[in-house]
Amino acid sequence: MSDNPVAAADNVNAKLGMLANVKVRMTVEVGRTEITIQDLLRLNEGSVIELDRMAGDPLDILVNGTIIARGEVVVVGERFGIRFGEIVDPETRMASV
């Protein structure tokens, strides 16, 4: 192992560079709920389902099913976007994998 921190950082960056083009799925979760299949089959246009979050609570941002951050919805031109707020500690993320 090298005692040179710059060389070690370059080595880590080179290894991460190999992953730069790997695609991952990013999901923004507004909230969750559980319903019965009977209730699911009764849903129609205009139905409302109550979620486990309060209005104004931060949204969860997940990558491949693992929460990485919390944020809020923003409007960018005519599209929705997400503004990152709290970033989940990397050690906490790794523990959930």
Q: How far apart are CA 28 and CA 22, in angstroms?
A: 19
Q: What is the CATH number of the domain that holds 48?
A: 2.30.330.10
Q: How far apart are CA 67 and CA 57, in angstroms?
A: 15
1 belongs to a structural domain: no
Where in the sequence is the domain holding 28, given as residue range(s)?
Answer: 24-95
15 belongs to a structural domain: no
CA dihedral defined by 65, 23, 29, 90, rounded to 10 degrees?
Answer: 60
73 belongs to a structural domain: yes
For the chain, the domain total comes to: 1
46 belongs to a structural domain: yes
Q: What pLDDT tens digit does each residue of the chain (97 aa) get? A: 557 777 777 777 777 778 888 999 999 999 999 999 999 999 999 999 999 999 889 999 999 999 999 999 999 999 999 999 999 887 766 666 5
Q: How far apart are CA 83 and CA 59, in angstroms?
A: 10
